[in-house]
Structure 1
Amino acid sequence: MSVKKLSLPLMLASFAGLLLLMILFPGAYLESALRGLAIWWDILFPSLFPFFIISEMMLGFGVVHLLGTLMDPLMKPLFRIPGSGGFVAAMGYVSGYPIGAKLTAKLWEQNMITRDEGERLVAFTTSSDPIFLIGAVSVGFFHDSKIAVILAAAHYGGGFLIGILMRFHGQQKTGSGVSNGLGPTPERAMDSAKKGGRVQSAFAAMHQARMQDGRSIGEMLRQAVESSLKLIIVVGGLVVFFSVFLELLTQAGVMKSLYLILDKILTAVGFPASLSEALIGGLFEVTLGARSAGEAAASVPLPYKAAAAAFILSWGGLSVHAQIASILHATNLRYLPFMIARLIHAILAAVLILLLWDPLMGNLRPSPAFRPEPELSLVSAAGGFADRIAYLCILIVFITLASVFWSWIRALWHQGNGKAAK
């Protein structure tokens, strides 16, 4: 029997088993569902929903075309991605998952990237946001803000390395110059950049894209809210589902068996076996796994705890994977390259923690003073939203200046070569 024929019976059996566990453990089922709903309503909805709307509006105003023209000299040599991918990278790293996948799907819909380019882009722009990494993980779970330094270096550094590795994914020849009438193609933007200044060409590309979009601001805002609301509801449903799924497996004793298996694997590779609970939890859900890593037994060395947290943050959890898969389902972008990239990113991040620990952290020990976990409320989420806006502005300014500087260096280089040839 083929795999496709087996998949449907196995899926039906799995859902029937979950339904039976819900009946056997109604209290745990309800409590876990409410917990997942609280995470969505108190954290994800106020922090992600505004960014969904903002990103949609920026796409409509042609900001992607502006940044795409500016960043094309930087993105193509490094990642084999059009300059418009720089906008996705900036928003993805500031806002966290699944913003990068959502914007990648939008670029694909507008024929600004090919399938291979989209798969490269979503692979390295899916990451944890700085607010969660610093506030929740470093301060809340590890009770020491200094951990954020090495976690950020390993997590975002690993993401950069994934971008470099993914440049070898797919065909060597790209065809992202196809246009569906929603804006200037990269080829046209590059031609205009050669004729005039890159900054001037970038603003011209943004204006042309806005004119060709043609929607009024009111219509654009309405469609942005509708699209963002659909996506945030899907995200919430997946968070609640995986919260229930993980709790039911725990109640059924399945998780204990997984812990025993992972204990032996960790011992074989030299990691403390007591980190198995954190890694198994992080396999399904990021928050649960990162919390378990930070609160692991005191006998576990701090570098190994941080390595486990970096692995979990970079893997993203099956809850995030389900969100990404649901977004990619509307495109022709494949999920498998994304999953492989997440696994490599997770391993790279854990290795980077161990390699960089002594140079960056020295002999850091856990802080003796206990710092309570930050309350996950609407107030903290609003503060996090303001911080993300600030991070986004700083990051976009930095990337834009870097792109302009790189274009200037390349122009001087070509000018020097031209004079030498004469």
Structure 2
Amino acid sequence: MPAARKWTTALTAASSLAVAALMMLFPAQSLDAALRGLAIWWDILFPALLPFFVIAELMLGFGIVHFFGTLLDPMMRPLFRVPGIGGFAMAMGFASGYPVGARLTAQLWEQRLIRRDEGERLVSFTTTSDPIFLIGAVSIGFFHDASLAVILAVAHYGTSVVIGLLMRYHGNLQFVAAAPKLTGANPIRRAMQSMHRARLLDSRTFGEMLRDALQSSLKLIMVIGGLVVFFCVVLEVMTLSHLMRGLYAAVTFVLQGAHVPPELAQAVVGGLFEVTLGAKSAAGAGVHLSLVSKVAIAAFILSWGGLSVHAQVVSLLNRTDLRYIPFGIARLAHGFMAAAAVFALWEPLAPARSAVSHAVPTLSTDGGLLPALPALFSLSGLLFVGTLLLLCALYAVYACLRPFVRRFRA
């Protein structure tokens, strides 16, 4: 282990020196890339994430998370092998995007509400894009087509649920979490009692909670902004120095094998590092390329998240014992599954896309996302409620199929 750490330290130091040298070699281009990253953070990420960070902190302090945890426990344990409190993290992750799911998972681990295996399962399928970015930035801002939000949302969030169902087999397979037996008490009443106990344990006043939520949220949003700017600069200087040629060749080979236009290799490579740059590059690829291929690549990039998002998640999980490798594998699988879902659902969802296109015929993005933010925040709230309803529907299907599965096994 000491020798491995020495090599890791040496490699990290050498990489840092190389990036610094490239930045001095291309100072103007590095500054332009940093300004692009800063614009992405200020225009999109800051207004989209900060309110949800603060709300999540307040919900933890008031015990609302514990309320949903008690209420959703009979659904989450048999379906995803995580406590019911993971249902709230899942809904918040879908509604507010990365890295909110990772932050909630880390906080639940710190409060000893989840174990390591449960946390690794939870963070693997709750780290998703938020509807503000998926609809406002990608569909409207980059592709200039609101109807694409339909297939991107179904492919992205639908396959995320599938990842969650697959991740239930991660960890100790000898232990299968089962839903606790229900007592005669009303579930709503038990959930209210759980929320009340959690509120009593957190003795802070509302003013103290709001202050702490703002301080921690601003600190996290600054870290996110720094990572976005850093990866924008790294990608730019590596591209200018032709160090990306090998990666471009490998990605082109994979795309050709999947019968995807190799011209999209630049978008994939950009998306491997930073999701916004990759999605924008996919949308701006040649007009002669098929739209379904460009949307599939965008779905892959959104689901993979980019190394910038991975670094954000690692920084949040660093104070826990949760491992990165299960998360990284799940993100890669989610990316491939989302891209495949776009190809599979392109024709079946054509009527839905056409209906959205007729309902929203023209959209202007000259003023940025600010005019559309109220409607997009409403969609985030609907996605939060819809996720909770989806969990109820999945559990109903599970309850109906469970007797047949037992008979088949017998």
Instruction: Please state how far the C-alpha of 1:233 moved relative to its aligned partner.
Output: 1.4
- Give the whole-Å Cα distance in 2 for the aligned partners of 1:402 and 1:87: 12
What amino acid sits opposite 1:198 in the alignment?
Answer: P
In structure 2, the partner of 1:309 is: 298
Contact 1:136 1:374 in 2 (8 A): no
What amino acid sits opposite 2:99 in the alignment?
Answer: P
- Give the whole-Å Cα distance in 1 for the aligned partners of 2:306 and 2:401: 45
Residue number among 238, 241, 245 corresponding to 1:249 in the alignment: 238
In structure 2, the partner of 1:160 is: 161
In structure 1, the partner of 2:332 is: 343
Q: How does 1:37-186 map to 2 (within 5 A)?
A: 37-172=38-173
Instruction: Please state how far the C-alpha of 1:361 moved relative to its aligned partner.
Output: 2.1
Contact 1:25 1:248 in 2 (8 A): yes
What amino acid sits opposite 1:58 in the alignment?
Answer: M
User: Relative to structure 1, is the Cα distance of residues 411 and 334 closer, same or farther in structure 2, using a 3 angstrom cutoff?
Assistant: closer
Instruction: Please state how far the C-alpha of 1:335 moved relative to its aligned partner.
Output: 0.9
- Give the whole-Å Cα distance in 1 for the aligned partners of 2:193 and 2:382: 23
Bigger mean CA deviation after superposition, 12-21 or 213-222: 213-222
What amino acid sits opposite 1:289 in the alignment?
Answer: G
In structure 1, the partner of 2:285 is: 296
SS at match of 1:117: helix
- Give the whole-Å Cα distance in 2 for the aligned partners of 1:238 and 1:126: 17
In structure 2, the partner of 1:11 is: 12
TM-score (norm 2): 0.88
What amino acid sits opposite 2:333 in the alignment?
Answer: I
In structure 1, the partner of 2:405 is: none
What amino acid sits opposite 1:287 in the alignment?
Answer: T
User: Relative to structure 1, is the Cα distance of residues 224 and 370 closer, same or farther in structure 2, using a 3 angstrom cutoff?
Assistant: closer
Residue number among 216, 231, 236 corresponding to 2:205 in the alignment: 216
Q: How does 1:198-209 map to 2 (within 5 A)?
A: 198-209=187-198
SS at match of 1:195: coil
Contact 2:130 2:380 in 1 (8 A): no
What amino acid sits opposite 2:378 in the alignment?
Answer: A
Contact 2:81 2:176 in 1 (8 A): no
Instruction: Please state how far the C-alpha of 1:38 moved relative to its aligned partner.
Output: 2.1
- Give the whole-Å Cα distance in 2 for the aligned partners of 1:217 and 1:328: 27
User: Relative to structure 1, is the Cα distance of residues 195 and 270 closer, same or farther in structure 2, using a 3 angstrom cutoff?
Assistant: same
User: Relative to structure 1, is the Cα distance of residues 300 and 2 closer, same or farther in structure 2, using a 3 angstrom cutoff?
Assistant: farther
User: Relative to structure 1, is the Cα distance of residues 403 and 99 closer, same or farther in structure 2, using a 3 angstrom cutoff?
Assistant: closer
Instruction: Please state how far the C-alpha of 1:347 moved relative to its aligned partner.
Output: 0.5
> In the alignment, does 2:24 pair up with 1:23?
yes
- Give the whole-Å Cα distance in 2 for the aligned partners of 1:244 and 1:316: 17
Contact 1:140 1:374 in 2 (8 A): no
- Give the whole-Å Cα distance in 2 for the aligned partners of 1:402 and 1:350: 22
Instruction: Please state how far the C-alpha of 1:55 moved relative to its aligned partner.
Output: 0.5
- Give the whole-Å Cα distance in 1 for the aligned partners of 2:300 and 2:395: 36
Contact 2:131 2:380 in 1 (8 A): no
* 1:55-109 residue CA offsets vs partner (Å, 9 max, x unmatched): 0010010001110111111111110111111111111101110000001111111
* 1:398-420 residue CA offsets vs partner (Å, 9 max, x unmatched): 45566678899999999xxxxxx
- Give the whole-Å Cα distance in 2 for the aligned partners of 1:357 and 1:293: 17
Instruction: Please state how far the C-alpha of 1:208 moved relative to its aligned partner.
Output: 1.3
Contact 2:94 2:384 in 1 (8 A): no
* 1:220-240 residue CA offsets vs partner (Å, 9 max, x unmatched): 122212211221111111111
Which segments of 5 or more consecutive residues in structure 2 lack a partner in the other structure? 403-410
* 1:306-327 residue CA offsets vs partner (Å, 9 max, x unmatched): 1111100000001111000100
Contact 1:307 1:353 in 2 (8 A): yes
- Of all paired residues, the percent bearing the same amino acid is 52
Instruction: Please state how far the C-alpha of 1:41 moved relative to its aligned partner.
Output: 2.3
Contact 1:29 1:248 in 2 (8 A): yes
In structure 2, the partner of 1:418 is: none
User: Relative to structure 1, is the Cα distance of residues 413 and 341 closer, same or farther in structure 2, using a 3 angstrom cutoff?
Assistant: closer
- Count residues in correspondence: 396
- Give the whole-Å Cα distance in 2 for the aligned partners of 1:357 and 1:48: 30
Instruction: Please state how far the C-alpha of 1:254 moved relative to its aligned partner.
Output: 2.2
User: Relative to structure 1, is the Cα distance of residues 21 and 411 closer, same or farther in structure 2, using a 3 angstrom cutoff?
Assistant: closer
Contact 1:85 1:121 in 2 (8 A): yes
- Give the whole-Å Cα distance in 1 for the aligned partners of 2:275 and 2:157: 16
* 1:8-64 residue CA offsets vs partner (Å, 9 max, x unmatched): 221111111111111111111111112212222232222211211110010010001
In structure 2, the partner of 1:420 is: none
